[in-house]
Structures are given as structure tokens and as C-alpha cells.
Amino acid sequence: MMRVLVTEPIAEKGLAILREVAEVDLRRLTPAELVEAIPAYDALIVRSETRVTGEVLRRGARLKVVGRAGVGVDNIDVATATELGIAVVNVPGGNTISAAEHTFALMLALVRNLPQAMAALQAGRWERQAFQGVELHGKTLGIIGLGRIGYEVAIRARAFGMRVLAYDPYVSPARAEAIGVRLVDLPELLRESDIVSIHAAKTPETARLIGAREIEMMKPGARIVNCARGGMVDEEALYEALRTGRLAGAALDVFSTEPVTDHPLFRLPNVVVTPHLAASTREAQEFSGVQIALQVARVLRGELVPEAVNLPPVPPDAQGEVVRYLPLAEALGAFLGQAFAFPAGEVEVHYQGPLAETAVQILTHTVLKGFLARRTEEPVNYINAPRVAQRLGIGVRESRQAVGGGSPDSRITVRLRGAGGGSGGGPGGSGAGAGDRGVRSVTGALTPEGRVRLLEVNGLPLDLVPGRYQVVTRHHDRPGMLGQFGTILGAAGVNIAGLALGRERRAGEAVAVFLVDEPPPPEVLARLAAVDGVLEARLVVLPLGEEPA
């Protein structure tokens, strides 16, 4: 049975989902203990404290997925996970409301001196004048990062009567204007804002987003709120600005090193801090726990999870259509990877019709997964297929042709070009037909019922709904060829369930695809290949179930 390691608490409902597909262990581990334990597990679920390093991932020989029960994945070595074909999944929308509300909790605590006033009262001092605050109403809030959380913060800021500016190079002005926000560049935001609130994703570009230079740009007496990720504000520069009074205050939920209980910032009177609590509400934790469990369970069942961090993004409104074409993409790649003895130099995936207008990169990954599965002993999946192709010296190209009004159904064509531009003729001779021009290809579509349908092989038209086992011959079109093939297969007890033939011209090159009930042994394929006029004869096994259609 598969095993899942959970190193930080998640909702009991999420654990129940995981227990339906795997044995679940809840263990708090030191970094060294995690390295020792991980080889026994198929999945790992963490929150923000556990660091999933390259060493952990490389030791996890069984690992299929790492789940982050939250938003940020900066505690996971995503690059190494991708290299190893390990899916990384998270819950980007799970804490949106909780984080937005916590931002305002910190903001209000900061401008009204609530923690200090509470501490004084608990110490027996009634000091109303000492803790005079300021209003949010009429102030300018500068939001860095207008994603899900920044968007919700902006809406709440407008309700408080604040003027809202935002810096986000990936958001359109129309989206910002719809909620009364003006997009500006970062220097203008820093100069004009009374309060700067950070909600950007942490990337190499946004690490140390606010340093000494940026703090100097800020309005004297301004305040900073950070509920995003630690390390995005230079903590030493922030300390100096707060100590000298250059900034009036800071409210921080995240830190460059976590957990932390002793920090110079904690000793300043104008700082409000919480221990990474933005997502710590009952509602957010239950949602995140359930959602991460569902995604991890899908990966363990062998399903594609389009939301994975290290897969090409697919817009939510396109996911259904893209997922519908996954079997076709994998089948075409698998067909081309087995049907011809041909040195692989480049794989081109061409999309035609309405499908060409959507996010298809994940389908290209799927074509590669099918193509490479029987060409290398290295495990290949949706995650690492492009990198495996690169290591094998196989180029990958994607092209599209979106047809206008009256478009045909979507089609996918996979073309294989020979290494070094050679002709790549198969064993048994080389003809002058379509298949010997340095390219092999297969085109397919979906039937109205959603089944895989082959339409062309090497540019030769045919029509077949394939099954699991096919025998593919490339041969010269001569009288009696199909009869000889049938006789050989029949004598070996191989039942033919279907047949499609495509030919270039009379007496030219032809391709036959025999749908068979069971795979013929190698000696039968050898007898087929020995027939006069046969260029090659090969078995193709497609990932389409155990029985032919």
C-alpha cells in the first residue's frame, strides 16, 4: 500500500481523504530525520515549517508528489522536484480571506497601538494619552502584488475609506480600476503610500524586494505590513529605519528565518509581530487540508493534476477541454515512439482547430510522456518529460493553426524528425515514399464519444479507433500484401480485430495498422518484416486499456 508522510498538522477531513488511498503517518521530524525517513514514502505533505530540500527529494526514491497545505512553495526545491518527476501541489486560494483579514488585523493593531496598550493595562497602567493612534480613513495604502490576497485587501481598504495604489506588472489596469485601485510603478507607490502592504509571491526577483534604497523612497513616518513571505523585506534595513524613526512602524507575520523567537525587531516598541498566523483560521486550515489531500490522492491514483506548480499553467475555464485531450496526446506520442525504427532528433506537436487557441503546453508534455515511455528506462511523467527529452538530445517544438469560421474538430499531429537531419529509413530497405523524407508523423482526433481516433500516419490518410495492441507495417503497395500479413498473424493465433490502410499512391508506399487482440511474439513480427516489399513491421502498445476497442 502507498504511504503518505504528513509532517505538520492538517485538517482531520483531509487525513480521512488520504486514508482512502494510502497509509498515513503524522510525524514531526527534524531535517536529518526527514532525510532518513523519506525513502519509505510515496507522498509528503508539509506546511511552511518543513524544508523540502534537494537532498530530501533525491532520497525519496518512491516520492510521486509533495503537497504544500498553503500557498507559497519557497520551502520546497521545486527545480529538483521537476528534474525528478515529482509533482508539487499547493492550495493557492485556500487562505485568501484569512490572510486579507489578518492583514487588516495587523494594520489596525499597528496604527492604534493595540498590543502596547493591552500590555500596559495588564501591567496595571491606564495610559490613554501614550497610545494615541491614527485613522486608516483618508490614508493611502500601497499594495505590492494585486493577486488573490492583494485584491481582497484592496476591497477592504476601500471600505475603510482609503485611497489604494497597487504595483503589479502582471495585472491589467482594467482589473485594478474595477475595484477603485490605481496601478503605479514601485517608486511612485513607495513615495505616496502611508502604509505599504506586501502580497507578492516570493521569487528570485522579489527576494529583498524592500531594502534600504526602497525604504529611503518611502514617505517619512510611513508604515510597512508584511503578511506575504519572509525575506522580502531587508530586516536589518527595516530595523534601522524603525529605530531612527524614519518609519513609524511595521507589522510582520513572516520572517526570513522561521521559526524565530529572538529577533532585534521584537524589541522595538513600534513593531507588531505574529508567528506566521495569516492562514491560521479554522476555515482556512480545513479548506487547505481537504484540498491538498484531494490533489495528493489524485496524483497517487495516477491522475494528472493540472494545478501542479511544476506543470505548465492551464486556465481553470480550459482545464476540462485540455484534460479531455490527454489520452489522445499520450496515445499519439506512444504510437510514434514505437511504430518506426527512427532516430529521434526533434518532436514537433502541431495543434489544429479550436484546441490551438487554448493552453496546450501540458498536452505537449503528455505527448513526450507517451513518446519516451518505451525509449528510455528512466521514469517519465508529465512533470519531467521535457527534461528527459533534453537529456536524450531530442528537441521539442510546438506549433498551432487555429482555423477560422466553420472550424473542423481539433486535431493533433506529432512529427518526428530524424537526428542529424538524416533520412532515418527503417530496417529492411528505404523507399521513396512519404515515410522516408526524414519525418515520421501521426495525426489524431477524438470521436464524438471522446475516444482516440487515428486519421493519418506519415501523411497517409486512414481512419481507425485504436486499442491497446496494434501491428504497424510500412510497405510497398502491392497485390496480396495484406493477405500475407493476415496469414502470418492467423497462423500464429493472433486475432485481427480491425484494420486501417493508408497509401501514398498505387504501387507507392503504404502503412497498415492491424488492431489485434494480443501482442504477437517477436518471431511473428520478424516473419512480417521478412515479407518482400515490407520496410518495417512493429508492435505498438498504447495506453488505452487492456483490450482493443
Write phi, then psi, for 101 (nearest 5 degrees).
Answer: -65, -40
Which residue has cell 485601485?
A: 181
Contact predicate 75/48, CB 8 Å:
yes
Single-letter amino acid, residue 244: T
Coil, strand or helix at 396: strand
User: 3-state class of 39 per DSSP?
Assistant: helix
Active site (annotated) includes residue 350: no
Q: For this structure, is 505 an active site residue?
A: no
DSSP state of 76: B
Which of 47, 68, 102, 276 does the annotation list as catalytic? 276
Q: Per the residue annotation, which of 47, 68, 223, 229 is the catalytic one?
A: 229
Rounded CA gap, 186 and 217, in Å?
10
137 is an active site residue: no
Answer for the pair 427, 534: CB distance below 8 angstroms, yes or no.
no
Give Cα 360 to chain centroid, integer Å.
13
CA dihedral 231, 236, 240, 242 (to 10 degrees): 30
Q: Are 467 and 346 a contacting pair, CB within 8 Å?
A: no
Instruction: Please identify which of the residues 8, 188, 258, 321 carries the catalytic annotation.
Output: 258
Query: What CA–CA distance (Å, rounded) separates 199 from 103?
Result: 10
Beta pairing partners, 414: 349, 442
Write down how long the chain is: 549
E strands, 452-495, where? 452-457, 460-464, 469-476
Cell 501482442 sits on residue? 519
Catalytic residues: 229, 258, 276
